[in-house]
Chains A and B, each alone.
Chain A
Amino acid sequence: MSNPILEVKDLRVYYKSIWGDYRVVDGVDLTVNKGEILGLAGESGCGKSTLVEGILRLVEPPGFIAGGKVIFKGIDLLSLSEEELRKIRWRQIAYIPQGSMNSLNPVIKVKDQMIDVMIDHGILDKEEAEKRALELLEAVGLPSETADMYPHQLSGGMRQRVIIAMAMSLNPELVVADEPTTALDIVMQKTVLLTIAKLRDDYGSSVILVSHDMAAHAEIADRIAIMYAGKIIEVGDVHDIFKEPAHPYTRMLIDSIPRLEKKILRGIPGLAPSPLRWPSGCRFHSRCPLAKKRCRYEEPSLKSLGAGHLVACHLWG
């Protein structure tokens, strides 16, 4: 069953500063299997977006990749030259960015921004590419007039769907969507999520869905990885984790989802720690209601609970 398309091994992405390195992503291990939607969840500032940038090698100075491997179909992306990586980008790994609002070039027509990527990867000539662009827009539910518009003439949800259409253009094997629903209204959120799910269903692409919104993961993810303080603390089947979260943080995260029958919203007390100086031991110990003495000085590693369910917590031996 497990057939990994992407394996992240001990990935570290740091940011240089005069106070020292911000260890934003600090040793992440993660596997994405063929044809699955892997949800990546965690509160703001836990390093989700930086992890994505590390995987896609889009980290800009003062950020840098401090170590680890990103193995995509047997090749370590971090060892490739810029030109080798350029050929893999989009053709095999597409990206739906967090700031989709400003992710389209304001002075170029939508159509031309969809075509250029097909041409630069030498897939199609201009005429075919134009036809394909129109088909893709239709596939994400946008009228064909969108093609001749400029980004500022589109709403946020439309822009987001243009980028999803773009992401589908070369049938990539992996799509990385970073907070694709943030800043959209609730109806548009659902549309965008279903469009992403369609990517997997119709094209067989694997998807990494980054979102702080647990409800989004419940909706479309197959497996879910929970990130806390620059590390993955729990991974597993989305049903298993929602039914029986193993890590106290995951439990609190799920409990914080607003539900109709719940009168009181429960948050997670305390603040996310600083990447400049992570807490010793288990990084969650200061906010954990179940913390023991051991949690303060010994860092837990990921342990299997069976059926692909991994957790990094001392409660589990």
Chain B
Amino acid sequence: MGLKRYFAEKICMYLASMFTAITLNFVIIRLIPGNPAEVLKELLRQQAISVGVVEFVEEYIREFGLDKDIATQFIYYLVQLLHGNLGVSMTRFPVTVQELIARHLPWSIGLLGVSCIISFALGTLLGAFLGWSRNSRIAQGLYYLALYLSLTPYYLLALILVYLFVFLIPLFPFSGGYSISVSGGLNYILDILWHSTLPALSVVLSSAGGWALSMRAFMVNVLGEDFLRLAKAKGLKPARIFRLYALRNAILPQTTGLALSIGNIVAGSLLVEVIFAYPGMGWLLFQAISCLDYTMIQGIFLITVTAVLTSIFIIELLYPLIDPRIRYS
């Protein structure tokens, strides 16, 4: 009874947020100076094509409905969405947005999914240690390391890694997601891992620092709680106090952060993917924005918003399981 209402309320809220995001996104990209037709004209001129350009561009504008006013375009877009249709890419037509996303999404999920989980696990454990033994020398030293890492932009880290391990010591490939010459079986998988090492490392290093800092703060808060003092007075073994009293409570707010970053995985990591020419969603978005590919940008944002909202929803469903104080109500 209460549960049904809980779900209904949540779903309504998510639909509302999604509609807002879609609308804003639709409007904002159209505020960028220029439009896809001009980009197309420029492209044709660069390729020294002069015959039939005017007719072609006119056809293009009609085909994508760019001659209609923005409200009509928006309604058309919504109707298409309701049919589960994200449209045709404006620069890579006749390929659809769905196809392009399906092609690039696995790369981002593979790269960022793995590095997100690794950095969360590493950072959270490090932060728990930093908070637990916050008065020790080692913890204070590591605290500054974490602070430094979290403040270093991940693309800067990526550039440093490229300099160190591509140019100085050529251990890893400079760019791409795989070698064209390798195909099939184990070699192919190893090749993919080899290509993803540096981009993954730059994401892991920078976000682990942030996870460590937030976990440390939650940990220090919990350590000041009355129940921790009682746990100590009870003479419990330090390992139990650490795990069940401190860590168990400090990790609750940390999981909310995890939900958000899991959702962001599908958006790809734009700068890292651009630096390494990694064929993920960030790379796709970068190309779409530089060509003002409206339908493509809209598609990527829609997927991202859906993923973020879905992961928040899942975490909210799981929350009562990890925190007994929270109920479905």
| Contacts from A to B (Cβ < 8 Å) | 56, 58, 60-61, 85-91, 94-95, 97, 99-108, 116-117, 120-121, 150, 152, 163, 166
**CB of B68 within 8 A of chain A?**
no
Measured between beta carbons, the chain A residues less than 8 angstroms from B63 are none
Once bound together, how far apart are the Cα atoms of A94 and B235, in whole Å? 9
B233 near A58: Cβ-Cβ < 8 Å:
yes
Q: By the criterion CB–CB under 8 Å, are A108 and B237 in contact?
A: no
Given A61-B135, A107-B324, the answer on whether A89 and B235 have CB atoms closer than 8 Å is yes
Contact of B233 among A95, A104, A107, A152 (CB under 8 A): A95
**Residues A106 and B227 in contact, CB atoms below 8 Å apart:** yes
Tell me if B244 and A108 are in contact (CB < 8 A): yes
Q: Which 3 A-B pairs have the closest CB atoms?
A: A89-B235, A99-B226, A102-B226
Q: Which residue of A lies closest to B229 (CB)?
A: A58
Given that A90-B233, A97-B230 are contacting pairs, would A152 and B245 also be in contact in the complex, using a CB cutoff of 8 Å? no
Q: Mark B206-236, 1 if CB is under 8 A from A, else 0.
A: 0000000000000000000111011111111
30 A-B interface contacts by CB (under 8 A): A56-B233, A58-B233, A61-B135, A86-B238, A87-B235, A89-B232, A89-B233, A90-B234, A91-B235, A95-B233, A97-B229, A99-B226, A100-B226, A101-B226, A103-B227, A103-B230, A104-B227, A105-B231, A105-B245, A105-B248, A105-B249, A106-B249, A106-B323, A107-B252, A107-B325, A116-B234, A116-B236, A120-B234, A120-B235, A120-B240
Number of interface residues, chain B, beta carbon within 8 A: 24
User: What B residues does A88 contact at CB under 8 A?
Assistant: 235
Q: Are B244 and A116 in contact (CB under 8 A)?
A: yes
Taking a contact as CB atoms under 8 Å apart, the answer to whether A117 and B234 are in contact is yes
- CB-CB < 8 A to A105: which residues of B? 227, 231, 244-245, 248-249
Interface of chain B, main secondary structure: helix
- Chain B proximity of A70: nearest CB distance (Å): 14
Residues in B neighbouring A150, C-beta threshold 8 A: 324-325
Assess A95 versus B230: contact at CB under 8 Å? Given A102-B225, A106-B325, A150-B324. yes
Task: Report A-chain residues with C-beta under 8 Å of the C-beta of B227.
Answer: 102-106
- Min CB distance A81 to B, Å, is 12
Number of A-B contacts (CB under 8 A): 79
Contact present for B325 and A89 (CB under 8 Å): no
Q: Which residues of A contact B235 (CB under 8 A)?
A: 85-91, 117, 120-121
Known interface pairs A86-B238, A90-B233, A103-B230; 13 further A-B residue pairs with C-beta atoms within 8 A, sorted by A's residue number: A61-B135, A85-B235, A86-B235, A87-B235, A90-B235, A94-B233, A97-B229, A107-B248, A107-B249, A108-B248, A116-B244, A120-B235, A120-B237
Distance to closest chain A CB from B221 (angstroms): 12
CB neighbors of A among B172-231 (8 A): 225-227, 229-231
In the complex, which residues of chain B have a beta carbon less than 8 angstroms from the beta carbon of A104? 227, 230
Inter-chain contact A103/B229, CB cutoff 8 Å: yes
> How long is the Cα–Cα vector from A116 to B231 in the complex, in angstroms?
10
Q: How far is the CA of A97 from the CA of B234 in the complex (A)?
A: 11
Once A102-B227, A103-B227, A106-B325 are accepted as A-B contacts, the answer to whether A89 and B245 lie under 8 Å apart by CB is no
Q: How far is the CB of A120 from chain B (nearest CB, A)?
A: 5
Instruction: Closest B residue to A91 by CB, please name it.
Output: B235
CA distance A116 to B238 in the complex (A): 12
Q: Closest B-chain residue to A61, C-beta based?
A: B135
Which one of B135, B232, B245 has the highest number of Cβ atoms from chain A below 10 Å of its Cβ?
B232
- For B227, B230, B244, B252, which residue has the most chain A Cβ atoms within 10 angstroms? B230
How near does chain A come to B149, taking the closest CB pair, in angstroms? 27
In the complex, which residues of chain A have a beta carbon less than 8 angstroms from the beta carbon of B245?
105
Is the beta-carbon distance between A97 and B226 smaller than 8 angstroms? yes
A86 to B325, CA, bound (A): 30
A107 to B281, CA, bound (A): 39
**Mask for B68-110, Cβ within 8 A of A = 1, else 0?**
0000000000000000000000000000000000000000000
* Complex interface: chain B residues within 8 A of A97 (CB): 226, 229-230, 233
| Docked-complex contact A163 and B240, CB < 8 angstroms | no
Chain A residues lying within 8 Å of B249, measured Cβ to Cβ, are: 105-107
Residues of B within 8 A of A86 (CB): 235-238
Question: Least Cβ distance of A284 to chain B in Å?
Answer: 31
Tell me, rounded to whole Å, the shortest Cβ–Cβ distance linking B199 to chain A.
37
Complex CA distance for A101 and B207, rounded to whole angstroms: 37
Within B270-329, which residues are at the interface with A (CB < 8 Å)? 322-325
- Closest chain A CB from B182 CB (angstroms): 49
Q: Which residues of A contact B135 (CB under 8 A)?
A: 61
A102 to B245, CA, bound (A): 13
Q: How far is the CA of A240 from the CA of B226 in the complex (A)?
A: 36
User: Chain B contacts of A108 at CB under 8 A?
Assistant: 244, 248
B195–chain A nearest beta-carbon distance, Å: 42
